[in-house]
Amino acid sequence: MEWGMANRMAQLIKSDGHALFLPVDHGYFQGPTRKLEEPRKTLEPLLPYADAIFITRGVLRSSVDPDNSKPIILRVSGGASMAGKDLSNEGITTSMEEAIRLNVSAVGISVFVGSDYEKESLLNLSKLVDEGEKYGIPVMAVTAVGRELEKRDARYLALASRIAAELGARVVKTYWCENFEKVVTGCPVPVVMAGGPHVDSELQVFEFVWDGMQKGAIGVNLGRNIWQNDFPVAMMKAIRAIIHENATPEEAQAIFDSEKGKEKKKP
Ligand code: 5RP
């Protein structure tokens, strides 16, 4: 691996081999998502506990100060919205030159395996990998399911993750699922887990993050289940403990319970 690529990968994945990415890119197709209406307000208290943030250029410029020292994963796919016909009809929205100008550590793109736009999204990934490799910028592929949340099973996610890795993604972001080891075993590059829509109990989140780590994920790219929680800083600290300190779900819950007392409930 070239020095630049290796250096950027090391910025993203910490020396223990694990990573906590914080995605705040949801507005690129969802608009002002609940509790991310004002991205700066959501992000600022959480930044100290994130290893990297996943963000579009618009929110990066408007809501993150340039003296921020956290690695940036730039979301560079888009072009579809919740109001449109098909979320899988995405293109590349941001050039590699822009990514370099913004001094990012990686770029991220969604692929929609099995959708009407499967081929386009996979070829977009391939083109982005070609560009990224030229400049030493890793590509994170997001195995997106659009509105079809029921697709999140091991058979589908293993297929999508493997294809993303085969096309050159340096990191794959997928969902946790039952039999998650099938997804990780079949994917020859590091895997991080997203959370999907906000669930009611924190323990459920800690359990799936812990289970995924035991099965070989290197960490998370977890958004709504952190910043849509009433106590997002407590969530970050608890999840950080699972990822970087090997805490069990019960230990993470104890951290959450003690930390939430120090935090004002988010309206
Ligand atoms: C949305 C994304 C998000 O980065 C990803 O889904 C993780 O966020 P969440 O945990 O909220 O699902 O790719 O476009």
Pair 128, 155: CB distance under 8 Å: no
**How many whole angstroms from 169 Cα to the centroid of ligand 1?**
17
Tell which atom from ligand 1 comes closest to the C-alpha of 24.
Answer: 4
Helix (H) or strand (E) holding 130: helix 118-135
- The reply to whether ligand 1 has any atom less than 6 angstroms from the CB of 180 is no
- Sequence-distant (6+) residues with CB within 8 A of 225 are 195, 196, 198, 199, 205, 235
pTM over 0.85: yes
Name the 3-class secondary structure at 60.
Answer: helix
For the chain, what are the domain ranges?
3-224
- The reply to whether ligand 1 has any atom less than 6 angstroms from the CB of 26 is yes
Q: Is 264 a catalytic residue?
A: no
Of 20, 22, 24, 25, the one to substitute when testing ligand 1's pocket (max ligand atoms within 8 A of C-beta) is 25
- pLDDT of res. 80: 93
- pLDDT of res. 151: 75
Nearest CA, atom 14, ligand 1 = 26
Distance CA 39, CA 29 (A): 15
E-strand ranges in the chain read: 19-23, 52-55, 72-75, 77-78, 91-92, 106-111, 139-143, 171-175, 191-194, 219-221
Nearest CA, atom 5, ligand 1 = 194
**10-residue averages of pLDDT along the chain (267 residues):** 96 98 97 97 97 98 94 97 93 98 98 95 98 98 82 92 98 96 98 86 96 98 96 98 98 97 81
- The reply to whether ligand 1 has any atom less than 6 angstroms from the CB of 196 is yes
**CATH 3.90.190.20 is held by the domain 3-224:** no
- The reply to whether ligand 1 has any atom less than 6 angstroms from the CB of 146 is no
Which of 35, 151, 173, 237 is an active site residue?
173
- pLDDT of res. 241: 98
12, amino acid identity: L
